[in-house]
Structure 1
Amino acid sequence: MLDSLLAFAGLCVVLAVTPGPDSFIVLRFAVRSGVAASLSAAAGAAIGSLFWAGAAGLGLAALLAGWSIGYTIVRVLGALYLIYLGVRALCARRPVEADTTGIPEHLSWWRAGRTGLLSAMLNPKIGLFFLAVAPQFVQSHADVVATTLLLGCIDAAVAFGWLALVSIGASRMMRWLRRPKVGTHLERASGVALTGLGVATLATH
């Protein structure tokens, strides 16, 4: 059992370091609002991943995968949300408020966490990941729901750990540079990435 959990954790590490919507969202908050907001977004994304693990364990994700219209609806909503975040970053009227003192723009932890949570919950690919991968790590005599939730906790912990490193690293880099224009350019870059991911998701069948 321990070997299976370690193998699953290793797979989660590989997937976590692969750039995705959550990474760009956390990076944007780290650049714009500092480490507290970006950590909240990371926690929200991890909770959203845990939601899909529970849904997969209960069979809801299987139902969604088998119901093509339902999957399409969730996929389109998730893509539109990513495009909304990207366009919002690109069309921001004011630059990142990080003056020579390095003080970022204030953003509530709740708002940042909600953004990360919605991004993960509107990504049905996470549910399909648990449907496809989790059965390989569930032993025949084990409780399927409980084991899937345990795997979800491992995935959430790994994802949060990686996103926290991204958050802290980006925030420290911004404090070291103390250049508002750098933050603005990075936010614009994250906006382009989020918009591109949203468009690519819409184009995916």
Structure 2
Amino acid sequence: MTVPALLAFAGLCVLLAVTPGPDTFLVLRYSLARPGAGLTASVGSAVGSILWALAVAFGLAALLEQSAELYRVVKIAGGLYLIYLGVSAFIASRRTAEHGADLKVRTTSLRSGFIAGMLSTVMNPKVGLFFLAIAPQFVPRDGNAIGNTLLLGAIDAVVAAGYLAIVAVLASRAVAWLKRPAVTKALERVSAAILAALGIGTIVLSVDE
């Protein structure tokens, strides 16, 4: 692939990354609880992108394009996971209000942030379909399809991780303001509600399809 083609693909990835979605709100939610967890959530999201690139490279994700039923199942599973994240975040927010900030730090580990970020991306079939739709336009017919697709996946992962890391860092920089009990409580519950709403919306749209 040529450098201009790679730059064009990177530009598309930037546009996709800056569009608010579940990953953005997930990273914000973890950053409010623990800045490091927000960063690991962004890394987990990047790993999820690479896993989708692997699936597309080896033709596994093509099943989503060929089977409407499978696509619906994956979307519903992803929606349920978002609802779980939203509900658990809301419950954690209430527990923190009752037992203090120390509980929040103990229950928000770096590992949980990473896993949540990865699963959020892996369970979002739109990421796989993005690769299915875009990759063929950039991968040369006479080139190494698997290697080039993985290269595109790596670019998308770096762009996504970079943007989400900026979100996490900005949230941590504003920690003095964000750590005010009333502000933290409001933002955590809003982000939890958004995650749950995205999950419910995903399931409703999947059932109606």
TM-score class, shorter: over 0.9
Distance (whole Å) between structure 1 residues aligned to residue 61 and residue 163 of structure 2:
25
Shift of 1:91: 3.0
Partner amino acid, structure 2, of 1:113 = F
Partner amino acid, structure 1, of 2:7 = L
Paired positions, count = 201
Shift >4 Å, 4+ stretches = 96-99
State, as a whole percentage, how many aligned pairs show the same letter: 51
| Residues 178 and 42 of structure 1, relative CA distance in 2, 3 Å threshold | same
Deviation by residue 1:89-121 (Cα, 9 ceiling, x = unmatched): 22332236559xxx9624221111001111111
Partner amino acid, structure 1, of 2:79 = A
Q: Give the TM-score taking structure 2 as reference length.
A: 0.90
Deviation by residue 1:130-180 (Cα, 9 ceiling, x = unmatched): 000111111122111111100000000000000000000011112345412
Q: Would the aligned equivalents of 2:178 and 2:184 in 1 still touch at CA under 8 Å? A: no
Distance (whole Å) between structure 1 residues aligned to residue 66 and residue 178 of structure 2:
49
Q: Would the aligned equivalents of 2:177 and 2:183 in 1 still touch at CA under 8 Å? A: no
Q: Give the TM-score taking structure 1 as reference length.
A: 0.92
| Residues 48 and 196 of structure 1, relative CA distance in 2, 3 Å threshold | same
2:61 aligned counterpart, secondary structure: helix
Shift of 1:203: 2.0
Q: Would the aligned equivalents of 1:95 and 1:180 in 2 still touch at CA under 8 Å? A: no
Shift of 1:202: 0.9
Distance (whole Å) between structure 1 residues aligned to residue 109 and residue 83 of structure 2:
22
Distance (whole Å) between structure 2 residues aligned to residue 177 and residue 6 of structure 1:
36
Partner amino acid, structure 2, of 1:181 = A
Shift of 1:192: 1.1
Distance (whole Å) between structure 1 residues aligned to residue 19 and residue 72 of structure 2:
24
Is 2:163 aligned against 1:162?
A: yes
Residue equivalent to 2:202: 201
Point out the structure with the larger helix share: 2
Q: Say what the alpha-carbon RMSD is for the aligned residues.
A: 1.7
Residue equivalent to 2:4: 3
Deviation by residue 1:18-46 (Cα, 9 ceiling, x = unmatched): 0000000000000112x211111110011
Q: Would the aligned equivalents of 2:32 and 2:178 in 1 still touch at CA under 8 Å? A: no
Residue equivalent to 2:53: 53
Residue equivalent to 2:76: 76
Residue equivalent to 1:32: 33
Is 2:111 aligned against 1:110?
A: yes
Residue equivalent to 2:147: 146
Distance (whole Å) between structure 1 residues aligned to residue 178 and residue 12 of structure 2:
34
Residue equivalent to 2:85: 85
Unaligned segments of structure 1, at least 5 residues: none
Distance (whole Å) between structure 1 residues aligned to residue 186 and residue 178 of structure 2:
13
Unaligned segments of structure 2, at least 5 residues: none
Q: Would the aligned equivalents of 2:76 and 2:203 in 1 still touch at CA under 8 Å? A: yes
Residue equivalent to 2:42: 42
